[in-house]
Amino acid sequence: MTAPVALRWAGDAAGHLEILDQTKLPARLEWLACRDVETVVEAIKSLRVRGAPAIGIAGAYGLVVAAAEAVRAGLPPDEALAHVLARGEELASARPTAVNLRWAVERSLGKLAALAADAPAAALAQALLAEARAIHAEDERLCAAIGRHGAAVLPAGNVLTHCNTGALATGGIGTALGVITTAWERGRRFEVFADETRPLFQGARLTAWELVERGIPVTVLCDSAAGHLLATGRIAACIVGADRITANGDTANKIGTYSLAVLAAAHGVPFYVAAPSSTFDLALATGADIPIEERGPAEVLAPLGVPAAPAGAKAFNPAFDVTPARLIRAIITEHGVIDPVTSARIAAVLGGR
């Protein structure tokens, strides 16, 4: 089977964005048509589309939806531009941790500077669609390059991963999961262990689904079983994705990643991060500067909608945590492998990205 697609644009610049609703997976494959920005923002906030690169692509297409709104409302050029900029801020701030979202929105908006000051809304929509398509296609290429670089360094043996970093999370084959599937397609044989990834179960619902669809053996474990699994010596490497990587290599990723990195270090298992250069935020010195999204209590108190705690209990629900660079063996990017993970090496590998 070919990799699933997380999102796609339907039609020309007056068309709409279609998002594969990941909250319904693996039970149902349902596409959500987004004809207004409100629907795109809601889809990002509620993780119908998720994963750092994929929400960046959704943000870029969301701007086209904003320009199409301006066309339908018959807004004059100045009001159309103001509308797109205001909607752009709503999109960019829909989720705070993955830097790819704001990066993609700002990159697309930057393209509008080349247009005449009195460019009509339809011209804005066309320019924004061209840029969203470019970001989408570029991410597909970056994923393939990350897969190639990563497959070359991934040690032989079973791998343990966290959250979902596959086709559902990107515009291509994925980052960490793309490394795993590339290694598999090159003939390497191993078993993939996938943390279920509470509270939203991206590992169990999405990673396991992608791997089962591809015929790659996958075993799902409770996040709390990872320490015991590593202690058995059955895991050769851990590999995860990233939502934001700072100048020193500190890495924000799905909650539970930091615990896994500590456990991997305790058991001498190498811990890899795979991410495109768009996930690096070199303006931030360390992970302490990364905004960590806090989500509502229902996800923890009633997982998958089933009440699991008494009424009156409170919840602690950070969506991400920060893994210090010292716990990361190497970071795999489209430009090559950052090893060791130091500020100097990051700057050298990313160069003039």
Q: List contacts with ligand MRU (CB under 6 A).
A: 47, 50-53, 98, 163, 165, 169-170, 174-175, 202, 241-243, 253-254, 319
* CA 53/CA 17 separation, integer angstroms: 16
In the bound state with ligand MRU, the residue whose beta carbon lies nearer, of 69 and 223, is 223
In the complex, the smallest distance separating the C-beta of residue 202 from ligand MRU, rounded to whole angstroms, is 5
In the bound state with ligand MRU, the residue whose beta carbon lies nearer, of 39 and 175, is 175
Task: Say whether 289 is catalytic.
Answer: no
In the bound state with ligand MRU, the residue whose beta carbon lies nearer, of 39 and 317, is 317
- What are the structure tokens assigned to 44, written together? 């990002």
In the bound state with ligand MRU, the residue whose beta carbon lies nearer, of 65 and 179, is 179
In the complex, the smallest distance separating the C-beta of residue 342 from ligand MRU, rounded to whole angstroms, is 22
In the complex, the smallest distance separating the C-beta of residue 223 from ligand MRU, rounded to whole angstroms, is 13
**Quick check: helix, strand or coil at residue 238?**
strand
- Say which of 139, 223, 243, 281 is annotated catalytic: 243
- What are the structure tokens assigned to 16, written together? 């709409």
CB 97 within 8 A of CB 320: yes
Residue 189 CB partners (closer than 8 Å, separation 6+): none
From residue 351, alpha-carbon distances to 138, 333, 335, 348 in Å are 18, 12, 9, 5
In the bound state with ligand MRU, the residue whose beta carbon lies nearer, of 276 and 336, is 276
In the complex, the smallest distance separating the C-beta of residue 96 from ligand MRU, rounded to whole angstroms, is 11
CB 49 within 8 A of CB 61: no
Tell me the CB-side half-sphere exposure of residue 191, using CA atoms within 13 A.
8
In the complex, the smallest distance separating the C-beta of residue 41 from ligand MRU, rounded to whole angstroms, is 15
Residue 52 CB partners (closer than 8 Å, separation 6+): 98, 99, 100, 101, 169, 241, 242, 243, 244, 275, 279
CB 105 within 8 A of CB 92: yes
Catalytic residues: 243
